[in-house]
Homo-oligomer: A and B are copies of this chain.
Amino acid sequence: MRKRSRRAFLSATVLATASTVVAQPLLGINSPSLLIHQVFFWLKNPGSVNDRKQLSEGLKKLAAIPEIKQLYVGFPANTEKREVVDNSWDVSEVMFFSDVTAQKTYQDHPLHQAFIQQYAHLWQRVVVYDTLTVG
């Protein structure tokens, strides 16, 4: 990418993603695939607005871990109720990594370990899905 375009792209990306917690621009040009780490939390106090807020704030702080290319934190959306839709959880995170190795580095990172120490008392159940994207 030419320097000028790259600068414009980075600047535009910062603007475009202002509503999310972004550690780095979303995608590396040389990434043939990406690791999407998707986590769903069920609170010990289901539906607690306060606990939901606490946990989501804790998750956003993980953006400081450099391996995270992009981080989204969310709550169940009010989409159509269908049998296949699971909306019983309280808080979710979606993280993009370069690959399995980067996800492992994140997994063992002191900030992630500290997050677990600090917030694990809030949840009763966690389900993780790790996707390797195909081009």
Number of A interface residues in the complex (CB < 8 A):
61
A8, B8: Cα distance in complex, Å: 6
Number of copies: 2
Interface assignment of A110: CB less than 8 Å from any CB of chain B: no
Interface assignment of A49: CB less than 8 Å from any CB of chain B: no
Task: Find out whether the CB atom of B20 lies under 8 angstroms from the CB atom of A128.
Answer: no
CB contacts (< 8 Å) of A74 on chain B: these are: 33, 36, 131-134
Q: What are 26 A-B pairs at a CB distance below 8 A?
A: A9-B9, A9-B12, A16-B26, A17-B26, A18-B29, A19-B27, A19-B133, A34-B72, A35-B79, A36-B72, A36-B74, A73-B133, A74-B131, A74-B133, A75-B134, A76-B132, A77-B130, A77-B132, A78-B100, A78-B132, A79-B130, A84-B127, A85-B128, A87-B130, A92-B129, A92-B131
